[in-house]
Structure 1
Amino acid sequence: MSAKRTLAVLAAVCAALIVLTGCSALSPNRLPSVKAGVSQDYTVTLKFESVLNLPDGADVMMNGIQVGRVQETVTTPEGVDVIVGLTDARAVPAESSAIIRQNTPLGDTYLAIEPPANGGSGQMLADGDVIPADRTTSPPPLEDTIAVLAYFVNGGSIQKIQDTMATLNRTMPPIGDVRKIAATVSKDLEDLSRNTGELERMIHALNAVSKSFDDTRVQIDHAFSDQGVHYWKSVADKLMTHISTLLPSVGSVFTGGLFLVPMLNSLADVGEAGRGQWDQAPATGAAMAKFLERTLIPFAKNPSVNLVSVQATAGKKQLLADTKLLLSMLGAIR
């Protein structure tokens, strides 16, 4: 009986050793996946600088469709080789690139294959092909992402944005005023769009005036040059000479006509000094046009007098009150 018990103990020990030995080769990566997978008809190697926590058995996706599964990752001196099994049911372009992604910060990591934008050469990946490291993108470390987020939150950026929005709300006028301004601007722009022909006509007219000045620049310069001044002075002197010759021959002016000589000389000097006033002619003309447009013409169209007060003697106060009432009824006074 003791011999049987000894054999049973030995059998149990041997079974335990066998189970432990088998479990030593067991890992989570070797467990079968519960996901619905695709066939792995051929293998392709993708070279990455790092893959972080990309597990064996991760999905290989292209355009949102699963095209394979990660078989294993192998560390190399240049980085990490990711060996994936792809299905023949969905061909993958040979010029495709790859990137490791996560849908959410805590979601499953998967390998995304991105086909070339221009369609590539038309060749497809085959068994044993390699996607080099210059066409793969490693994910940023999660620690760096968290550090950037923490710096954004703790650095006062959110508070600055909130302060900026509060300042804008205090600076901007009330909503009603903003709507009125927008409506006014809209009407002005609409009116401007309806009168583009008038604007073009005005621009063409201004352009024609500027060209006319440029075309007559030589004549204008000559008229206000020293030769021009000499010409006008000569004309004035000759005119005054003829007048002074004619005036003494007219009756009694003949004997007393010499008194006109100083006046005629003064007129010649006035004609010469008129050139200096010519420079102020544009400003004077603009002022005159402004006076006519804003004062004289409106008054001529609608002449009116603003009566401030009317005084009357003691006996005519009733007549003044009746007149005031009548004018108020007619709307002539307020």
Structure 2
Amino acid sequence: MKRLALASLGLVLLVSGCKFDGAYDLPLPGGPVDADHAYEVTADFADILNIVPKSPVMVDDVTVGEVTDVQRVGWHAEITMLVRDDIVLPDNAIADIRQVSLLGEKYVALLPPTGEQPHGRLSDGDNIPLSATGRNPEVEEVLGALSFLLSGGGVGQLGTITQELNNVMDGRTDRLRHLLGSLKDVVGTLDDQKADIIDALESMNNLTATLNREKDTIGDALDVVGPAVKVLDDQHAQLIAMLKSLDRLGAVGTRVIGASKADLIQTLADLKPVLTKLNEAGDHLAPGLNMAISFPFPKEASEVVKGDYANAFIRAQINLGTFVPNGGGGPLPPVDVPDPSQVLNQVQKCLASGDITSKACLKVLDDANALKKLKKACQRDENKDNAVCQVVNAGDLPDLPGLPTLPGLDGFTASLASGADQPDESGSALYGGAA
């Protein structure tokens, strides 16, 4: 047996390459992990207590690996662990040194992260940093803290605190009960409004983010506001004087409006029937104004030109004392006499169009003098075959409209309608023409 043990020891030394660190390098039967089916992970700890190689590595109190090496790296310790390759752990897993029981052995517990969502997968060669590792307090530490408390460190203070609380609450139980009830209502209201509170906080967060993005713009605005505020400060006295003047103006305006209110209301009331009648006049108002401006010679006075003259002219002498019994006033407006050349052009355009409904012919039909010239032109042999002349010669068109009757001008308008030359006092004709 002794020879067999020595042979086994020699075989182990041969396989390990002449490196032997004591009993920790000896393989144990029934180990928790097979090196060929495991991945290696390192973890940094500020204090590893009495963790040694071969200490178990557990997940949910199930052994899934073991510690293979413990080293000092700077001012902290680094342990190397082998974990079975069928164990899936997140890349941000944490490591904690715990104890199996009150006096049991220590082990390394691999746990999911706290305060964040798991992501990735822990794999061979990964390292768990110091920020993700920790340990449970030792029994000795707990008992030491308890002995400090019981030896006068805090029990006396607890008694004093309890006595003072009793003194505060003595005789105030109803008020304290009411206070606790009010606190309950406040907490309940806050709980009911937690969604709105969260929305408000999110809105504040969005506002803060927007202000942060626009901080350059806000800074520029504040830089511009500075000189503006300085200008306002320099104009402080003038602004105060202006406001005082506005105050006095408001007082005067109020007094004036109060004094003239009745007159203003009466004026508006008097304007109402005038505006009502103007509104009722409607479209008749404009023709009436046109007639008033051209009185006593309306638009129809342009139809007094007789005959077919290319260069006609009119000379009229009117004495208001003759036509108006109570004459007076200023000069009469001029008579609206059409230009014969324009009339002939309108007639020629109508004939050239060949359509009695054309725009040129409608313009001729709307003018009595132009219509008369059109009829005369259609009597010529060269125009009898024209489509416009055929309609005109058929006699379907209206005759020359009559002239308006004006008081005191009956003989004058009759002479114009007849086309006869009326001599004036000097023997000259009132109207005539040259061919």
TM range (shorter): 0.3 to 0.5
TM-score by length of 2: 0.31
Q: Give TM-score scaled by structure 1 length.
A: 0.38
Q: Higher RCO, 1 or 2 (CA under 8 Å, sep at least 6)? A: 1
